[in-house]
Amino acid sequence: MEGVIVQRERVAENVYSFQSDVYAQVTAGAVIGPSWAVVIDTLALPEESLEIRDFIEQELQVPVRYVINTHYHADHAWGNCLFTGATVVGHTLAREWLDTRGRVSLENARRQSTTYRQIRIILPHITFSEGSISLRVGKKTLSLWPLPGHSADNLGILVEEDRVLFAGDVFMPLPYIVDGNIDDMLASLKKIGKMGLENVVQGHGDIVLRGEIDGALKENLSYLSAIRKAVRKAARRKYPLDILEEITVEECGKSRVLIGGLAEELHNRNLRSLYEQIYGKPPLASTDDDDYDDEEEYEDES
Ligand SMILES: [Zn+2]
């Protein structure tokens, strides 16, 4: 059965990554053992999760025994229920937030379309919140440990033998901190830089190859310091939102075409969220005062 909507790449022997063509270039992964497989994240749409499952179970002929969620966001964890019988592994907070915010978001999504009709929230069965756990899949060792920043529940999954890191959303073409914390992200990115990796599968976007990792990390670190600087500058003004709205993604060193063109929007949310994390709610912009209060719920979208 050939992939229809999901792009598949072989990252190392028995290690695959999948990328969505339809939703924000979100990624997933799989590590295949001789008698069962592990899936890392589920992508956004049920058809995409099913395509991954069919590839592993029908083409490669092994059942999926474990699903690891890098974090609780919809495009990484809502497909858990489509891997029937699999044991789900995640951060303790991922379990808590899927059970609360996740259920609320799913109800909202269901009211808006029929896409998620067949989706039920399946909470991680195995959870941890500090240290690391490892999972042996055939000859491969997967190490899982917290890698916060994009969200406090983000996990990194390292295939030790291949030095391939599934980073979750702490590593993206444009860092996204709206549901997370900038200092945690800086620390996580620096940690990744010291790991001696062959490949990084980012939570969204293309695989980062060995020779590109340092450059990509540097760009992300400098973007984060650029937005911090911008937010500080804005905070000195009477109407900080006026200033924040003018700061483009390019000025902070990134292109708006990233993540399927979502970059500009994610960037604007980053600025506003970082401002609020440091200074609290800003006074309304002098020009448009209706824009601020009707902010959509977005924490489950990437
Ligand atoms: Zn996310």
DSSP codes, 135-204: EEETTEEEEEEE--SSSTT-EEEEEGGGTEEEEETTS-SS---TTS-HHHHHHHHHHHHTS--SEEEESB
Q: If you measure from the C-alpha of residue 237 to the centroid of ligand 1, how many angstroms do you get, rounded to a whole number? A: 31
Q: If you measure from the C-alpha of residue 151 to the centroid of ligand 1, how many angstroms do you get, rounded to a whole number? A: 7
Q: If you measure from the C-alpha of residue 182 to the centroid of ligand 1, how many angstroms do you get, rounded to a whole number? A: 14
pLDDT band per the 50, 70, 90 thresholds, residue 288: low
Q: If you measure from the C-alpha of residue 73 to the centroid of ligand 1, how many angstroms do you get, rounded to a whole number? A: 5
Q: If you measure from the C-alpha of residue 203 to the centroid of ligand 1, how many angstroms do you get, rounded to a whole number? A: 7
Q: Where are the beta strands (DSSP E) in the chain?
A: 6-12, 15-20, 27-32, 37-40, 64-68, 87-91, 126-128, 133-137, 140-146, 155-159, 164-168, 199-202, 208-209
**What's the rounded Cα separation, in Å, for the pair 223 and 290?**
29
Tens of pLDDT along 54-93? 999 999 999 999 999 999 999 999 999 999 999 999 999 9
| More confident call, 239 vs 61 | 61
Tens of pLDDT along 256-270? 999 989 999 999 999
Burial (0-12, 13-18, 19+ Cβ within 10 Å), 214:
exposed
Q: If you measure from the C-alpha of residue 144 to the centroid of ligand 1, how many angstroms do you get, rounded to a whole number? A: 17
Q: If you measure from the C-alpha of residue 169 to the centroid of ligand 1, how many angstroms do you get, rounded to a whole number? A: 5
Tens of pLDDT along 136-172? 999 999 999 999 999 999 999 999 999 999 999 999 9
pLDDT band per the 50, 70, 90 thresholds, residue 5: confident
Q: How many other C-beta atoms are found inside a 10 Å radius of the C-beta of residue 100?
A: 11
Q: If you measure from the C-alpha of residue 98 to the centroid of ligand 1, how many angstroms do you get, rounded to a whole number? A: 12
DSSP for residue 61 = -
**What's the rounded Cα separation, in Å, for the pair 173 and 206?**
8
Pull the structure tokens for residue 289.
């005062």
Q: If you measure from the C-alpha of residue 76 to the centroid of ligand 1, how many angstroms do you get, rounded to a whole number? A: 7
- Looking at residue 285, its pLDDT comes to 65
Q: If you measure from the C-alpha of residue 78 to the centroid of ligand 1, how many angstroms do you get, rounded to a whole number? A: 12
